[in-house]
Amino acid sequence: MVALKHGHGVRLMSLKEKNLTTDFPAVVKAVRGIAAETAMLDGEVVAVDARGCPSFQALQNRASGARGWQIMYYAFDLLNLEGESYTNKRLGERKAKLRTLIEGSAVRYNAELAGSTAEIVKTVREAGLEGVVAKRRNSLYRAGTRVTSWLKFKIDKGQEFVIGGYKPDAGTFQSILVGYYHGTKLLFAGKVRQGFNPTARRRLLETMRPLLTKKYPFDNLPSSRKSHFGEGITIDEMKELCWLKPKLVAQVSFTEWTNYGLLRHATFHGLRHDKSAREVVRESG
């Protein structure tokens, strides 16, 4: 998320240029406190508990702060300061200036991790984090461009999926049906049953209901038979399901892809509001 400060005013923008200023008042207050008249930062909004452990699902719940979660902004880059662009300066220089800039404010500095690759992976896994981003110290800032000087490594399997339906169950739902795009086709990837507390389940159902449609969105359904792990969907089972227009994007973790191209032991972590459904593809495995 990019944070822009101009005098007393602060604006928060997603990578898709969606204005999120009103969604995170705590972040606005934190950015307002940095020692600059005008500045542009890049960073990540994180919901943390008293131990500093993050939760993606808690972040999706705007009332999470009332339940012991604190919303914080971790800044990892400086793009502009007092009208001077920093995007063509080296990462080391940008980070050094950023650290000085946010000192004394409620904005948190996203520091580098020291140690060998094995030690860093161990630390990240123990902290329950998704992965790490490796950046060359001499790299420049290139917005919206994939470059080899910045690489993202996921520690455990997980990615975004499009929600294409759900299995109803006594006024709520038993599981959601997710998939990914391969070209113009939306392919079914599996059912997600885990990761829903009562609040998350209720809110997701409220979000899904306006998208109900009679037409199923997955190009590879029905399955000829259920897979060995019971994750396929036959034509008989399809009659019991509710279908959605493919608009919602969910963050999902899982243990592996099966030989049938389906997810095993998938867990829901929240909705992604910063990514459009048509961008979702199978990432690996």
Q: For the segment 238-272, what is each residue's pLDDT rounded down to a tens digit?
A: 999 999 999 999 999 998 888 788 998 899 999 99
In a domain? residue 101: yes
Query: pLDDT value at position 256?
Result: 84
Cα separation, 196 vs 269, in Å, equals 8
**Residues 149, 163 within the same domain:** no
In a domain? residue 284: no
Q: 51 lies in which domain range? A: 2-154
Query: pLDDT value at position 79?
Result: 97
Q: Where is the domain boundary, 96, 129, 154?
A: 154
In a domain? residue 150: yes
**Residues 75, 130 within the same domain:** yes
Please tell me whether the overall predicted TM-score, pTM, comes out greater than 0.85 for this model: no
**Residues 72, 97 within the same domain:** yes
**Residues 16, 106 within the same domain:** yes
Q: State the Cα torsion 198-203-204-210 to the nearest 10°.
A: 140
Task: Return the structure tokens found at 265.
Answer: 């032991």
Query: pLDDT value at position 264?
Result: 87
Q: For the segment 58-111, what is each residue's pLDDT rounded down to a tens digit?
A: 776 654 444 668 899 999 999 999 999 999 999 999 999 999 999 999 999 998
- Say which residue, 44 or 51, is predicted with more confidence: 44
The total domain count for the chain is 2
**Residues 47, 121 within the same domain:** yes
In a domain? residue 285: no
For residue 154, with 0-12 CB atoms within 10 Å meaning exposed, 13-18 middle and 19 or more buried, which class applies?
middle
- Say which residue, 206 or 146, is predicted with more confidence: 206
**Residues 187, 142 within the same domain:** no
In a domain? residue 98: yes
152 close to 226: Cβ distance less than 8 angstroms:
no
Q: For the segment 173-217, what is each residue's pLDDT rounded down to a tens digit?
A: 999 999 999 999 999 999 999 999 898 999 999 999 999 999 999
Tell me: pLDDT of 227 over 60.
no
The CATH number of residue 61's host domain is 3.30.470.30
Cα separation, 189 vs 187, in Å, equals 6
Band the pLDDT of 145: cuts 50, 70, 90.
Answer: confident
In a domain? residue 55: yes
Q: Where is the domain boundary, 134, 154, 174?
A: 154
Give residues with Cβ within 8 angstroms of 28, minimum separation 6.
Answer: 10, 12, 21
Q: Where is the domain boundary, 154, 177, 192?
A: 154
**Residues 105, 168 within the same domain:** no
The CATH number of residue 240's host domain is 2.40.50.140
**Residues 17, 141 within the same domain:** yes
**Residues 28, 134 within the same domain:** yes
Tell me: pLDDT of 21 over 90.
yes
Query: pLDDT value at position 179?
Result: 98
Bridge partners, 11 (sequence order): 4
**Residues 134, 171 within the same domain:** no
Q: For the segment 101-143, what is each residue's pLDDT rounded down to a tens digit?
A: 999 999 999 988 888 888 888 888 777 777 888 899 899 998 7
The two beta strands, 70-81 and 108-109, are parallel
**Residues 177, 146 within the same domain:** no
In a domain? residue 224: yes
